[in-house]
Every structure is written in structure tokens, then in C-alpha cells.
Amino acid sequence: MDSRTKNRPASHVIRRMLEDAYGTDSVCTTPDAVQELERGWFNAVYAARLRDGREVVLKIAPLRRTPVLTYELNAMQNETTVLGLLADRAGLPVPRLHHVDTTMSLVDAPWFTMSRIPGRNLGEVMDEKTLTPVDEAARIRELGVLNRRLNDIRGPGFGHVGGVLHETWRGAFSLLIADLLGDAVRAGVDLGVEPGRITAVVDAHGAALDVIRTPRFVAWDLWPGNALAEEGRITGLVDHERALWGDPLMEAAFMNNEVPIFPCAEEFAAGYGALPNDGTAPVRRRLYSLHLLLIMTIEPAFRGPQDPGQALWSRGLLAGVLASLEEGAPPLAP
């Protein structure tokens, strides 16, 4: 995917970055030694082969002058913090962090390198329709198992893992919403609803957020497109820049009632297992869907010319979720 946030240095700069990370003698000079991984929509990402045969990944943040959403300002710091946190956790196939550069000396942006996990993007494989229904269901159930392991990790406070933490989930979540509403104003995005209604509905349902007293690791962006698979199993979980300490119900797979974008959500739930339900779950799920739909509506203004269909689709869903919360959010099926 293309986006104005992607910071693509010249090939000689990329080579210098790899030399800084691994040493001059380790870097291959053949033209095919570095390839851009184009699927993502935010950072520029490159796969590189070193002289000793190792496969590594170089990830480069947007240039500092590039407008991004407020929560994305420290996305790279968030991801490197997460990779450090998860490095020694058994049963979690995440890349190993190798080198971090925040000096801005080679490019006007931070960057880092990490190990490259073998496997193909599970989202791409599913799009190709080459998996049998049984195999596809098994991979999504496995994704549910892995997501549960992530959610079982407890944190020191609420908020993005590499950012400022808050004492309450209500406070952290309210700030996430406020930042997005500010982003919409900054980019001149028409949300289709009055921003004050969104603030009011989050305030009105604050007691439901107060139920969450233990910060849990939330991947938030864990779906098939951020998983790698090979030989009938999931080999890697990637792209952790949006992870936060919060409520596991915020995971993408649990929002399908309002935002139907997660494939085989029932199989995911079978792998994940039951979540506690104290009666506030339907309200919280709608609040988290509201947050996701705000991002989906605002994000295209920061990425550059895109298919206008996403913003129109998400804006329509946003109005519906907001209305249901204003009406008192009648219970949904668990």
C-alpha cells in the first residue's frame, strides 16, 4: 500500500543504516539483497539478507515533518518497547529487536532493525483462497490462543505501552478519543456527527470503563494481516506499534457486531476462550468500536489519496454506533 507517511530513503542510505546496525562486512551489496515489504500503510519496511544468510527487517518511521495522527507520534517507540517486553515471553512468536536508532542522523526519523520471522502474511494467504476451510479455521483459532496469551500480561498503568500511563482506564480511553477528535479538526475531516456528541457519550458511559481496574496488554491491531504462517501454523505476530495497556475487549476480533471486518471471528473466540462479562461488556464493546471507527474515518486524510469508500463506510457505521450508545446501548449477543 502507498501512503504519504512512508519514508523511503535512497538505497545508499538504507545500506548505511544496515551497516550501522550489523557492521559494514555483514551487508550484502547485490541489488536483490534488500526488498521493500509494501503491505503496511504507515511505516516504510524493508527485508534484507545479510552476508551470513540472516534475514532481517528494517523499519523506518515517517519523517518528523509528516503529519500523522496524535497517537502515531511515538508509534516506533511504542513498538520497540513492546518488542523488548515480549522478547522472553514463552509461546509468543514475535521478532527479536536488534538495533534502534533515534539520532535522526541518517534520516529525519527514528528507525530500527529486527529479526525476520519466516512465513507468509496470513491475511494475504486467506485472500488467495488457497487454504481449506479446516486449515483457515485452525489458523484463526491459533490466533485467538496467541491473543489470549498477550492479554494475560499485566501492565503498570493504562495507555500506550511506550507512552505516558494513567491510573484509570477511563482517563486513558477518554484521552484517546480527545486526541482523535483533535486530529479530525486538524485535518478538516467531516465525521458526519458533532464531535461534542462523541465526547458526551464517552463521559456518560465512564462507569462502564471504570470496571476495568487491571491493565492488560492489548495488541489492538492483531488480525490475519499482522500474522505470519508457514507449514500449517502461525510463525509470527508483527506490527506492534499500536499496543496498549487496557481492556482485552478492545481487540479487533471482538468488535465484529459493530465493525464487521474480522474474518472467522467465531473461530477466533473458540481459540481465545471466554471473557468475563459483568454486564458492561456490550457498552464497552460499542465504545471501542466508536474509537476504531473514528480512526478509520480520520486516517485517510493523513495517508493521502485513497479509495473514498472507507471513510464513507466507516462514517456511516460511526453514526450508528454513536446513536446506539446515546440510546443506552441495549445488550448485544455476547
Chain segment 166-196, per-residue pLDDT in tens: 999 999 999 999 999 999 999 999 999 999 9
Indicate whether 331 pLDDT > 50: no
Of 117, 141, 166, which residue is a domain's last? 117
Same domain, 156 and 198: yes
Of 61, 93, 117, which residue is a domain's last? 117
DSSP conformation class of 154:
B
Same domain, 85 and 217: no
pLDDT at 334: 36
Same domain, 64 and 138: no
Mean pLDDT across the chain, nearest whole number?
93
pLDDT at 2: 74
Give pLDDT tens digits for 50-99.
Answer: 999 999 999 999 999 999 999 999 999 999 999 999 998 888 999 999 99
Assigned domain for 99 exists:
yes
Same domain, 180 and 243: yes
Range of the domain at 203: 121-326
Assigned domain for 214 exists:
yes
pLDDT at 1: 62
Of 117, 132, 167, which residue is a domain's last? 117
pLDDT at 278: 85
Mean pLDDT of the region 242-263: 93
Same domain, 65 and 209: no
Indicate whether 41 pLDDT > 80: no
Assigned domain for 18 exists:
no
Assigned domain for 277 exists:
yes
The CA distances from residue 203 to 178, 199, 208, 288, in Å, are 11, 6, 10, 14
Same domain, 152 and 229: yes
Same domain, 49 and 177: no
Indicate whether 108 pLDDT > 70: yes
Indicate whether 141 pLDDT > 80: yes
Indicate whether 111 pLDDT > 70: yes
Neighbour tally for 18: CB within 10 Å: 23
pTM of the model: 0.93
Give pLDDT tens digits for 290-300.
Answer: 999 999 999 99
Q: DSSP characters for 219-283?
A: -SS-SGGGEEEETTEEEEE---TT-EEE-GGGSGGGGTTTS--STTHHHHHHHH-PPP--S-HHH
Assigned domain for 135 exists:
yes
Looking at per-residue pLDDT, the higher value among 242 and 329 belongs to 242
Inter-residue contact 3 to 17 (CB < 8 Å):
no
Same domain, 147 and 249: yes
